[in-house]
Amino acid sequence: MIRICEAGLNGIVRGILIATATVFFATNAHATLVSNGTFDTNLSGWDHTTGTIPSTWDSGTAHIGRPGTPGTSIFFQDFDIAFGTSALEISFDYQWQVNPPSVEDIFTAELIYQTMSGETEVLLLEESSDDGTFGSTAFFSKIVSLVDLANVADNGRILFQLLETDNITSPTGTRIQLDNVSVTPVPLPAAFPLFAGGIGFLGLLGWRRKRMATA
Ligand SMILES: [Ca+2]
């Protein structure tokens, strides 16, 4: 009698487990939401002409800013975030290049997303050329929680900006080399405990059966 009950329970738990695993891994398997984040052959998919200094493609990377040319270089892409997504993992590689200037330049990265009531801007990174390591690639990664995400098309934007100030006395300047930009939905937090709980419960049933068999 107990064995039938356990077998039945086992089947139900397996069913729930398969269902939650499907949700969990389907969500987890989402590829990055941005297109051409690796800049393999060009800057297609990105707006690289906004601001006073256009961004350029160079050997599989994007160059934001032009050394010695004062102004603002803005580089961005809009993408769809599926309604119900609760968080995004954002990562990219960046490198300060050419010459540390006498007057600091500022590099910023932002996530902008549409909400029920308007727009939210999340500052991901703000770095001065005084603090940057020139000629060495830095890896950035952060998980951002989304609040009140609007159910509209192109509700997300990732934006990079280099503000290049005038260095009156010398023509030195900077650019940011950008690569491997990735924006990935983080699995539903509600699905994970259910999934992990299901595995634990199956383990417990297995342990009880084993114990009864040896008794
Ligand atoms: Ca690349």
Domain annotation covers residue 52: yes
Domain annotation covers residue 1: no
Name the residue range of residue 78's domain. Answer: 31-187
Rounded to the nearest angstrom, the distance between the alpha carbon of 55 and the centre of ligand 1 is 15
Rounded to the nearest angstrom, the distance between the alpha carbon of 196 and the centre of ligand 1 is 36
CATH number at residue 35: 2.60.120.260
Kindly indicate the confidence band of residue 188, based on its pLDDT and cuts at 50, 70 and 90.
low
Rounded to the nearest angstrom, the distance between the alpha carbon of 156 and the centre of ligand 1 is 22
pLDDT of residue 155: 97
pTM, full prediction: 0.76
Rounded to the nearest angstrom, the distance between the alpha carbon of 137 and the centre of ligand 1 is 12
**Which tokens is 131 given?**
């603090």
Q: Which one, of 168, 167, 164, 174, lies nearest residue 99 by Cα? A: 174
* Lowest-confidence pick of 58-62, 112-116, 168-172: 168-172
Domain annotation covers residue 9: no
Domain annotation covers residue 209: no
Domain annotation covers residue 3: no
Kindly indicate the confidence band of residue 119, based on its pLDDT and cuts at 50, 70 and 90.
very high
The span from the CA of 208 to the CA of 15, in Å, is 20
The total domain count for the chain is 1
Rounded to the nearest angstrom, the distance between the alpha carbon of 75 and the centre of ligand 1 is 16
Q: 96-109: per-residue pLDDT in tens?
A: 999 888 889 999 99
The span from the CA of 105 to the CA of 50, in Å, is 18
Rounded to the nearest angstrom, the distance between the alpha carbon of 176 and the centre of ligand 1 is 14
The span from the CA of 106 to the CA of 175, in Å, is 10
Domain annotation covers residue 82: yes
Domain annotation covers residue 5: no
Rounded to the nearest angstrom, the distance between the alpha carbon of 52 and the centre of ligand 1 is 24
Edge-to-edge order in the sheet of strand 156-164: 71-79, 156-164, 106-115, 118-128
Strands 106-115 and 156-164: antiparallel
Rounded to the nearest angstrom, the distance between the alpha carbon of 102 and the centre of ligand 1 is 30
pLDDT of residue 173: 83
**Cβ within 8 Å of residue 162, ≥6 positions away:** 53, 64, 65, 72, 73, 105, 106, 107, 174, 175, 176
Mean pLDDT confidence for 39-67: 96
Rounded to the nearest angstrom, the distance between the alpha carbon of 60 and the centre of ligand 1 is 4
Mean pLDDT confidence for 9-14: 62
